[in-house]
């Protein structure tokens, strides 16, 4: 990612953080306003609404007062005309009580009648103007109940009733006007609250939601850009990795080829060292062939050749030719370059073929050989490579014992099966690897010999590791041992058998 785009991203992130803080403040402010509106609703609007509902009983009771005042007058007229029948008197008393209770209730409130106290100064003043007529009518009605049902009393009632009715009409009208104005106020307040809520919602959308949505879009765009950039980076890294893998594979292939070439060179060098001995080895059967051929010739040149006398020399010639052939075959298979396939070989044959190659070398250096090999054991290996290892170890052992007295030069080759491994030890009676045996001897080009190359042990270890085995060196009481293992599967292991199968000579 470029420095510029990183800076841009940081700037966008900071802006987003600032904006988030602003949006949060706005959101809380709007929430506060909504809370204030709810408080106002509860504190002002709801009580006003509750009050509106009590106007109805006030208007009803005030209206009924007019009807009661008319009934009072009517009952007074009945009592006067019928000279006090008890029923009318009782009705007059009840009506008077109701009328008086309702009058007081309208002014001071009466829970039983559902009336609140009248607080409006105008209506209270109208009641004050009504009071003289009310008092006069109450006094006249009480006088009638006390038995003073004179025409003057009835006339007083009739005179004040008309005044009372007119004033009561006015009061009812005033109650209705007050209720209406209250309702109108409430409607306006409700409208105001609705407009405020809509305004707050619009503000919420405009001041909070819109910028928040924009910020989210910006962040999503930013994220998409980053994903695209990261994907491009990953693709580049992937391609670079693929290139690197290819280069590494090529290098591995090359190193494999080089190590093959090196191993082959090492084999050729070993063979070079053995060349004199091998020439002598081949020379022996050739000389024998020549001798036996001469014998055959003599027999054939005689006057009456005896075929019987030819059988033995011809058989000897055949054996000597086979021996020479075996030596040459061994050399050819040992020196063959390139990859030879894995195949199952008998351990004893594998070792004996190598010994055939260095037989003369051992004899020349007066080294006594002791072999301890399993008779039937087989391993699945590239035979020429394992033989290269063995040859290298045998040559090292012979060279290590060159300064020892000839009677003490002894080479021991042991092969044993342990668990699922075949263990091969090449033990000599030379000076050993010194007091501190370490990995130094396996380092390429490490040598203590004037004409040594220092590659023998390194190549041997890599060959054994190729075969999934291990190779190490150790000191023995007298001399050194170089040991290596080769894996054998269970079937082979069973074939390797126990130590009783082993042949030691
Ligand atoms: P080279 O034989 O060319 O020196 P190697 O890799 O085969 O290379 O051996 C490395 C060194 O390990 C030898 O120079 C020698 O010092 C030591 N070495 C190898 N085998 C033996 C042995 N059997 N006894 C003592 N020293 C040994």
Q: List the structure tokens of 202.
A: 């619009």
Interval between CA 433 and ligand 1 midpoint (Å): 8
Nearest CA to ligand 1 atom 19: 396
Q: pLDDT tens for residues 248-285?
A: 999 999 887 887 787 778 778 777 777 777 787 788 88
Instruction: Select from 365, 389, 412, 447 the residue to mutate for testing ligand 1; criterion: most ligand atoms less than 8 Å from CB.
Output: 447
pTM for this prediction: 0.52
**Where would I find the H helices in 336-423?**
347-357, 359-364, 383-400
Ligand 1 atom, smallest distance to 392 CA: 7
One-letter-per-residue 3-state SS of 136-173: HHHHHHHHHHCCCCCHHHHHHHHHHHHHHHHHHHHHHH
Task: List phi, psi (to 5°) of 51.
Answer: -65, -35
Question: How many Å apart are CA 45 and CA 90, to the nearest integer?
Answer: 46
Helix (H, G, I), strand (E, B) or coil at 63: helix
Strand (E) positions, 236-367? 343-346
- Torsion (CA) 238, 242, 243, 245 in degrees, nearest 10: 130
Interval between CA 113 and ligand 1 midpoint (Å): 128
Helix (H, G, I), strand (E, B) or coil at 339: coil
* Ligand 1 contact via 269 beta carbon (within 6 Å): no
Q: Exposed, middle or buried, 484 (CB in 10 Å: 0-12/13-18/19+)?
A: buried
- Torsion (CA) 394, 395, 396, 398 in degrees, nearest 10: 90
Task: List phi, psi (to 5°) of 337.
Answer: -80, 170
Q: List the structure tokens of 99.
A: 């009328």
Ligand 1 atom, smallest distance to 455 CA: 6
Question: How many Å apart are CA 11 and CA 497, to the nearest integer?
Answer: 78
Ligand 1 atom, smallest distance to 448 CA: 14
Interval between CA 407 and ligand 1 midpoint (Å): 22
Interval between CA 396 and ligand 1 midpoint (Å): 6
* Ligand 1 contact via 403 beta carbon (within 6 Å): no
Interval between CA 473 and ligand 1 midpoint (Å): 10
Q: Exposed, middle or buried, 394 (CB in 10 Å: 0-12/13-18/19+)?
A: buried
CA–CA distances in Å: residue 123 to residues 70, 170, 325, 422: 22, 9, 148, 125
Residue written as tokens 């590791």? 465
Question: How many Å apart are CA 263 and CA 103, to the nearest integer?
Answer: 132
Contacts within 8 Å (CB) and 24+ apart, 481-484: 481/425, 481/426, 481/427, 481/428, 482/393, 482/396, 482/397, 482/425, 482/426, 482/457, 483/423, 483/424, 483/425, 483/426, 484/389, 484/423, 484/424, 484/460
Instruction: Select from 441, 450, 462 the residue to mutate for testing ligand 1; criterion: most ligand atoms less than 8 Å from CB.
Output: 441
Q: What is the pLDDT along the chain (505 residues), one digit of tens a residue?
A: 566 767 777 877 787 788 888 888 888 998 899 899 899 888 888 888 887 777 888 899 999 999 999 999 999 888 888 866 788 889 999 999 999 999 999 999 998 988 889 989 999 999 999 999 999 999 999 988 887 767 888 889 899 999 999 999 999 999 999 889 888 888 898 898 889 889 989 988 888 888 888 888 888 888 898 899 999 999 999 999 999 999 999 999 988 788 778 777 877 877 777 777 778 778 888 988 998 899 899 889 888 888 888 898 899 999 889 988 888 887 787 777 766 678 899 999 999 988 988 888 899 899 999 999 998 889 999 888 898 899 999 999 999 999 999 999 999 999 998 778 999 999 999 999 988 788 899 998 899 998 888 888 998 998 999 899 999 999 999 999 999 999 986 444 444 333 333 433 4
Interval between CA 480 and ligand 1 midpoint (Å): 10
| DSSP track, 445-496 | T---STT--S-HHHHHHHHHHHTT--EEEEE-SSSEEEEEEEE--HHHHHHH
Q: Within 10 Å of residue 286's Cβ, how many Cβ atoms?
A: 15
Q: pLDDT tens for residues 389-421?
A: 999 999 999 999 999 999 999 999 999 987 789
* Ligand 1 contact via 273 beta carbon (within 6 Å): no
Question: How many Å apart are CA 374 and CA 500, to the nearest integer?
Answer: 9
Nearest CA to ligand 1 atom 21: 396
Supply the DSSP symbol for 233.
H
Nearest CA to ligand 1 atom 23: 397
Question: Who contacts 304 (Cβ-Cβ below 8 Å, separation ≥6)?
Answer: none
Question: How many Å apart are CA 297 and CA 121, to the nearest integer?
Answer: 170
* Ligand 1 contact via 331 beta carbon (within 6 Å): no
Angle at 278 between CA 361 and CA 345, to 5 degrees: 85
Nearest CA to ligand 1 atom 16: 448
pLDDT of residue 230: 92
- Sorted by where each starts, the structural domains of the chain and their CATH numbers stand as 3-229 (1.20.120.1730), 254-492 (3.30.565.10)
Ligand 1 atom, smallest distance to 457 CA: 6
Q: Are strands 368-374 and 410-418 parallel, antiparallel or unpaired?
A: parallel
| DSSP track, 21-58 | HHHHHHHHHHHHHHHHHHHHIIIIIHHHHHHHHHHHHH
* Ligand 1 contact via 430 beta carbon (within 6 Å): yes
* Ligand 1 contact via 396 beta carbon (within 6 Å): yes
Angle at 416 between CA 372 and CA 492, to 5 degrees: 120
* Ligand 1 contact via 446 beta carbon (within 6 Å): yes
* Ligand 1 contact via 394 beta carbon (within 6 Å): no
Question: How many Å apart are CA 448 and CA 451, to the nearest integer?
Answer: 9
């Amino acid at each position: 990612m470029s420095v510029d785009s990183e800076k841009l991203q940081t700037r966008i992130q900071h802006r987003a953080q600032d904006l988030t803080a602003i949006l949060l403040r706005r959101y809380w402010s709007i929430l506060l306003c909504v809370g204030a509106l709810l408080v106002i609703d509860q504190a002002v609007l709801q009580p006003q609404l509750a009050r509106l509902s009590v106007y109805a009983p006030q208007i009803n009771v005030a209206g009924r007062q007019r009807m009661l005042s008319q009934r009072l007058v009517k009952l007074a007229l009945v009592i006067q005309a019928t000279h006090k029948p008890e029923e009318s008197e009782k009705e007059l008393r009840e009506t008077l009580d109701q009328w008086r209770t309702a009058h007081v209730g309208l002014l001071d409130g009466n829970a039983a009648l559902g009336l609140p106290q009248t607080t409006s100064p105008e209506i209270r003043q109208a009641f004050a103007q009504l009071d003289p007529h009310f008092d006069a009518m109450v006094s006249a009605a009480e006088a009638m109940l006390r038995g003073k049902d004179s025409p003057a009393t009835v006339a007083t009632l009739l005179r004040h009733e008309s005044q009372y009715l007119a004033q009561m009409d006015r009061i009812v009208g005033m109650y209705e006007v007050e209720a209406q104005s209250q309702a109108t106020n409430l409607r306006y307040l409700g409208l105001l609250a609705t407009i405020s809520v809509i305004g707050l919602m619009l503000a919420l959308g405009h001041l909070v939601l819109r910028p928040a949505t924009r910020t989210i879009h910006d962040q999503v765009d930013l994220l998409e850009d980053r994903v695209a950039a990261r994907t491009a980076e990953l693709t580049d890294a992937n391609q670079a990795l693929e290139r690197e893998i290819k280069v590494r594979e090529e290098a591995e292939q090359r190193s494999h080829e080089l190590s093959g070439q090196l191993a082959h060179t090492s084999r050729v060098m070993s063979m070079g060292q053995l060349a004199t001995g091998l020439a002598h080895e081949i020379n022996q059967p050739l000389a024998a062939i020549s001798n036996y051929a001469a014998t055959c010739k003599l027999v054939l040149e005689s006057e009456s050749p005896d075929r019987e006398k030819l059988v033995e020399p011809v058989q000897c010639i055949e054996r000597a030719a086979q021996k020479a052939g075996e030596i040459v075959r061994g050399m050819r298979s040992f020196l063959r370059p390139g990859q030879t396939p894995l195949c199952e070989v008998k351990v004893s044959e594998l070792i004996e073929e190598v010994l055939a190659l260095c037989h003369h070398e051992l004899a020349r250096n007066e080294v006594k050989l002791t072999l301890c090999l399993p008779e039937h054991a087989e391993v699945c290996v590239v035979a020429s490579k394992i033989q290269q290892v063995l040859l290298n170890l045998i040559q090292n052992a012979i060279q290590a014992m060159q300064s020892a007295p000839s009677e003490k030069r002894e080479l021991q080759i042991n092969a044993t099966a342990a668990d699922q491994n075949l263990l091969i030890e090449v033990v000599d009676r030379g000076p050993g690897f010194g007091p501190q045996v370490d990995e130094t001897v396996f380092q390429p080009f490490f040598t203590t010999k004037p004409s040594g190359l220092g590659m023998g042990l390194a190549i041997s270890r890599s060959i054994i590791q190729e075969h999934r085995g291990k190779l190490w060196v150790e000191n023995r009481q007298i001399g050194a041992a170089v040991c290596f293992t080769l894996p054998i599967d269970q079937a082979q292991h069973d074939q390797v058998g126990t130590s009783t199968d082993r042949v030691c000579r």
